[in-house]
Amino acid sequence: MLSSALLSFALALPALAIGPNTDLNLVNAAVAPDGFSRSAVTANGVIPGPLLTANVGDDFNINVVNGLTDNNDPLARILPGRQFVGGWSRVRHPMPHRCERFVPILVLHRWTGEPGTYWYHSHLSTQYCDGLRGAMVVYDPNDPHADLYDVDDELTVITLADWYHAPVHTLGAVPTSVATLINGLGRSLGANISVTQGRRYRFRLVSVSCDPNYRFSIDSHTMTIIEVDGVNHAEHNVDEIQIFAGQRYSFVLNANQDINNYWLCSHLLLALHRLTIHLPQVRANPNVGTTGFANGINSAILRYVGAPAGDPTTPVVGATNSLREADLTPLVTRLVPSLAQQGGADVNLNLAIAFAGGAFTVNGAHYASPTVPVLLQILSGAHTAAELLPAGSVYTLPPNAVVELSIPGGTVGSPHPIHLHGHNFWVVRSAGSTVYNYQTAPIRDVVSVGAAGDNVTIRFETDNAGPWFLHCGADTIANSVQPDAWDTLCPRYNSLTPDQLGAQ
């Protein structure tokens, strides 16, 4: 029993950074990040997966080897949180591993690093909820914010994740998580983040959540936001950040408090999960699930070097200066392209999200994964949106145009985070605001569409050709049913000869 507990603890420790030329081995592993042991889907046997790093301009060459053995886990498709321009993948033997005659599958992902904070994860079903997710950082030796901080390394990356005690696809449509993991650890294993008094830290906060959003705050300290979803922004001081699934923020923390131990607490919610991390008290209290902080639950510890071992004793202090997305300004401002008026882009679309018959729809269409990828449909001769599957879910856009998307909020399960692959976008109107900003709008790639009465509006340029995915960042909601055509793949795969399979 002791040895298995120690093994699980080791599996949950933050992994050392790797990259940009490296292997990611996808394997099933027994982990117990919150004290409960279960089989997880992992990269290199750890949760979260190892931090991938590079410097700006470096070429990432990531060999992803599928060694999953659990019959519940089909072939994983790993994607960065943002598709980089010019990125591509080469796949050998793209068959699901659950076939009887399984051989490992090698996928080479290659792209050029752009500076900022990102994440990678499986995009198959709800697989990343079961562990296959991790952070990615591209460092800039000429960072324009470099004079604001002293420390920026793998130890200043903070991941926030929800956790479940069974494979998520077995738990129903939108399950409630049982724990929040900070850097892959729940309270029972004693997660710690260490700082030295007098130093300034660039923390990179990454939500790798499947569903919850979190309110992150640090008592008695100011967080100076300098980066949003990989885009440098002007310095902006707050004491609380609401962060949604897939979003990333870099903030500078000045460790100028007394040498002591400070609570770092977390708790998960359904639909509107809330994580509040306080320094000196770091706490998170959900509106569903196990709430509160008795005996240090939903908590970790931020420990100043030199502080004695032990739990913090500081009181909870509420936030007074929460982040408003509309207050963010890019470091290098650029006028939002096209006309400075609502509906003033080249292409203007309203995307109405609804829930009916047990499924979410966009403009009345329910997305179901096509049996043939959209790009292959195009290469096979389909030319119009009406010819492409899934019907009603594919929009064709002209090249080098400006597109405006208006997305009203308030659908069941709100607020929903919306992520666009392949592009950053201007947030012309943010959730909680009625103002349209065409001069200094924040730029990012994941946005909350807010509550009833909101009409979040974004603009982007079609300067990165290809089929791109626009989806809810909450994976339990974005998940679609696996197509029936998958059922035919194993018999076809098992019938292949060694020559057809090629060298392994």
51-to-75, 103, 155, 286, 359 alpha-carbon distances in Å:
22, 27, 10, 28, 35
Other C-beta atoms lying within 10 Å of the C-beta of residue 136:
29
148-to-177, 200, 201, 288 alpha-carbon distances in Å:
37, 7, 9, 38
Closest CA to 356 of 411, 406, 395, 407: 411
Q: What pLDDT score does 193 carry?
A: 83
Q: What pLDDT score does 440 carry?
A: 98
What are the phi and psi torsion angles at 444 (to 5°)? Answer: -160, -170
**The one-letter amino acid at 141:** P
pTM score, two decimals? 0.86
371-to-391, 420, 481, 501 alpha-carbon distances in Å:
12, 22, 11, 22
pLDDT band, very low/low/confident/very high, at 346 (cuts 50, 70, 90): very high
**The one-letter amino acid at 301:** I
Helix (H) or strand (E) holding 5: helix 2-12
Q: Stretch 207-221: mean pLDDT, rounded?
A: 85
* C-alpha to C-alpha distance for 305 and 298, rounded to whole angstroms: 23
pLDDT(295) > 80? no
Q: Across 164-239, where does the E strand assignment appear?
A: 179-182, 192-195, 200-207, 214-217, 223-228, 231-238
pLDDT(371) > 90? no
Other C-beta atoms lying within 10 Å of the C-beta of residue 146:
12
* C-alpha to C-alpha distance for 373 and 350, rounded to whole angstroms: 25
Mean pLDDT of the chain: 80
488 by Cβ neighbours in 10 Å (0-12 / 13-18 / 19+) ranks as: exposed
Contact 92, 106 (CB under 8 A): yes
Sheet (strand 21-31) strand order:
38-43, 21-31, 59-66, 105-112, 88-91
pLDDT(466) > 70? yes
* C-alpha to C-alpha distance for 171 and 456, rounded to whole angstroms: 31
**456 forms bridges with which residues in the sheet?**
407
* C-alpha to C-alpha distance for 316 and 304, rounded to whole angstroms: 18
Helix (H) or strand (E) holding 4: helix 2-12
Most confident of 162-171, 287-296, 420-429: 420-429
pLDDT band, very low/low/confident/very high, at 493 (cuts 50, 70, 90): very low
Predicted confidence (pLDDT) per residue in 191-205, tens digit:
688 899 999 999 999
Domains of the chain: 2-323 (2.60.40.420), 332-473 (2.60.40.420)
pLDDT(435) > 70? yes
Contact 69, 153 (CB under 8 A): no
Q: What pLDDT score does 312 carry?
A: 78
Other C-beta atoms lying within 10 Å of the C-beta of residue 92:
14
Predicted confidence (pLDDT) per residue in 422-431, tens digit:
999 999 999 9
pLDDT(487) > 70? no
DSSP 432: T
How does DSSP assign 379-411, residue by residue?
Answer: HTT--SGGGSSSTTS-----TT-EEEEEEE---
Q: What pLDDT score does 356 carry?
A: 84
pLDDT(433) > 90? yes
> If you search the block for the tokens 């009406």, which residue do you land on?
386
Q: Stretch 92-109: mean pLDDT, rounded?
A: 48
* C-alpha to C-alpha distance for 197 and 305, rounded to whole angstroms: 7
DSSP 271: S
**40: which residues sit within 8 A by CB, 6+ positions away?**
28, 29, 30, 31, 47, 130, 131
* C-alpha to C-alpha distance for 122 and 168, rounded to whole angstroms: 13
Q: Stretch 111-120: mean pLDDT, rounded?
A: 92
Tally of helices (H runs) and strands (E runs) in the chain: 5, 30
Q: What pLDDT score does 293 carry?
A: 55
SS3 188: helix
Lowest mean pLDDT among 84-98, 304-318, 451-465: 84-98
Percent of the chain beyond pLDDT 90? Answer: 48
Q: What pLDDT score does 313 carry?
A: 76
Q: What pLDDT score does 43 carry?
A: 95
Q: What pLDDT score does 48 carry?
A: 95
- 280 prior amide bond cis, ω within 30: yes
